[in-house]
Structure 1
Amino acid sequence: MCETCSSPSIGRRRLLAGGLAGGLALAAAPLFAASAFAQTSGGYGTATPVTPDEAMKRLVDGNARYVAGKPQEADYSAGRLKRATGQQPFAAIVACSDSRVVPELVFDQGPGELFIVRVAGNFIDENGLASLEFATAVLGVKLILVLGHASCGAVQATITSIKDNTLPPGHLPSLVNAIRPAVYEAMRSNPSDLLAAASDQNVKLNAKLAQTAGPILSERAAAGQLKSAAAMYDIGTGKVTFL
């Protein structure tokens, strides 16, 4: 069981989640009604995926277009008025704050199609869990993808912190402490490239959390309504490798 799921603060989160779940149920109806157009909600007028596997295929196909330099033609102003009435993204992406990582471009998707949760180091904390619960319970997201990237500065800072037995200044220790489990796990295998191994492990651990954190995400996963996945983005080539 993951440390985050068993932390004392989860008790408080679950208490809040109980109230949130009721609120979500009430909020879902008007939101879905307002976004009834969402069967063709994307910037490209593409039908919204109805299963996790269809959502995954759409991401895979989109990245292939991006790598090939053949993105779909899109007028991002088109559909603006429709998007003002609601949203129905088909996937949630947990991405790093790195300015070179732009999920909408990486997966060749338009406005309103991806729900993005960003933090340096692409890990899921309490706020990230709440955001993902909202995305799934209210907006109907079918897939959560945790997307890491090559040469991640947050992961490297964590490795340096562990090796030097020091902590960075300010609020940076909160990032380091969140990524530590992945680095420790990678160190056990004694890899030749610790940064790459720790980055891979980080997305895997957080993808597991995205599917097992209760009550909302785990219940939807158990019902087959939600899947999570881990992937790494190569900034140089643009290719996303699913782990």
Structure 2
Amino acid sequence: MDRHLGSADAMCFACHPGSVGRRSFFAAGAALLATTVAAPQARAQTAERPATPDAALRALMEGNARYVANQPRERDFSARRASLAQSQHPFAAVLGCADSRVAPELAFDQSPGDLFVVRVAGNFVTADGLGSLEFGAGVLGTRLILVLGHTSCGAVNATVDALRQGNTLPGNIAGLATAMKPGIEPALAQTGGDVTRRALVANVQYNVRRLETSSPILTDLIGRGTLAVKGGIYDLATGRVELL
């Protein structure tokens, strides 16, 4: 979270999302953005960032193409570090899996400060994750949220096995399967194709719908055309992201 968040309302929202209304939230966001873009370096960064949901998605997919081709852009991380210490202006958010083999900044060939990333095993929406994504979109101005699943997802496979065979998962891992059940269970009743693939796709699509409909903050931004929510699958073997 940006250390320049000087508004009491915004700080309150960050700690207690339900404690302020949308009007106060967006007012706090506007104040934050006005403050953080004051420095010339921040203005230069903001000018370069994709300004629309379509442009943000295009930037991600172009970056993924570079990643797949093993032709990433050259970067001098130290040159940008000072400006990022003052503010952040990510253009997209990613709700991804905690899997160590999937690193969004690498998969989309983006630099620090470009992506606002929320990760949990199984890439599903949690209350804390939703609050983070609301902050990213409403205050930091992300134009896109991408729900990113991936092949050979252990959380998805464990949920499928638990639903089909009644497996008892240990500890809090069982809570992951319980949270993912509403998105995955309908896919098990379908026929044709690979059940694991169906479950993987269904889980991503379910969480895209949740983000589109469960948050008044996100729904408002989507209605204004300043935010979009998309889904995709990262292939571990090739590194390619398939949009759903």
1:16-72 superposed Cα distances (whole Å, 9 cap, x missing partner): 435164553353244313431445438xxx811111000000001000000111100
Q: Which amino acid aligns with 1:33?
A: A
1:1-30 superposed Cα distances (whole Å, 9 cap, x missing partner): xxxxxxxxxxxxxx9435164553353244
Normalization by structure 1: what TM-score?
0.87
Unmatched 5+ residue regions in structure 1?
Answer: 1-14
Which deviates the most, 182-191 or 83-92? 182-191
Question: Please, what is the CA RMSD of the aligned residues?
Answer: 1.8
Report the counterpart of residue 223 of structure 1 in structure 2. 224
Report the counterpart of residue 64 of structure 1 in structure 2. 65
Is residue 32 of structure 2 the alignment partner of residue 31 of structure 1?
A: yes
The answer to whether the 8 Å contact 1:41/1:113 transfers is no
Structure 1 distance, partners of 2:192, 2:99, is: 25
Structure 1 distance, partners of 2:236, 2:42, is: 31
Is residue 79 of structure 2 the alignment partner of residue 78 of structure 1?
A: yes
Structure 1 distance, partners of 2:17, 2:29, is: 17
Structure 2 distance, partners of 1:38, 1:174, is: 41
Report the counterpart of residue 91 of structure 1 in structure 2. 92
CA drift of 1:195 comes to: 1.1
Which deviates the most, 79-88 or 181-190? 181-190
Report the counterpart of residue 208 of structure 2 in structure 1. 207
Instruction: Quickly say closer, same or farther: Cα 1:110–1:160, change in 2 above 3 A.
Output: same
Report the counterpart of residue 195 of structure 2 in structure 1. 194
Report the counterpart of residue 8 of structure 1 in structure 2. none
Number of residue pairs aligned between Structure 1 and Structure 2: 226
Partner-residue secondary structure (3-state), 1:77: helix
1:198-219 superposed Cα distances (whole Å, 9 cap, x missing partner): 0111111111112222310111
Report the counterpart of residue 102 of structure 1 in structure 2. 103
Report the counterpart of residue 10 of structure 2 in structure 1. none
1:118-174 superposed Cα distances (whole Å, 9 cap, x missing partner): 000000111111111100110001100000000000001001111221331111121
Structure 1 distance, partners of 2:17, 2:49, is: 30
Of 34, 40, 45, 1:41 maps to 45
Report the counterpart of residue 152 of structure 1 in structure 2. 153
Normalization by structure 2: what TM-score?
0.87
Structure 1 distance, partners of 2:208, 2:85, is: 31
The answer to whether the 8 Å contact 1:96/1:120 transfers is yes
Q: Which amino acid aligns with 1:139?
A: L
Report the counterpart of residue 167 of structure 1 in structure 2. 168
* Map 1:92-131 → 2, pairs under 5 A: 92-131=93-132
The answer to whether the 8 Å contact 1:31/1:86 transfers is no
Structure 1 distance, partners of 2:141, 2:188, is: 38
Structure 2 distance, partners of 1:109, 1:148, is: 18
Partner-residue secondary structure (3-state), 2:77: coil
Structure 1 distance, partners of 2:149, 2:226, is: 24
The answer to whether the 8 Å contact 1:106/1:238 transfers is yes
Structure 2 distance, partners of 1:34, 1:110, is: 22
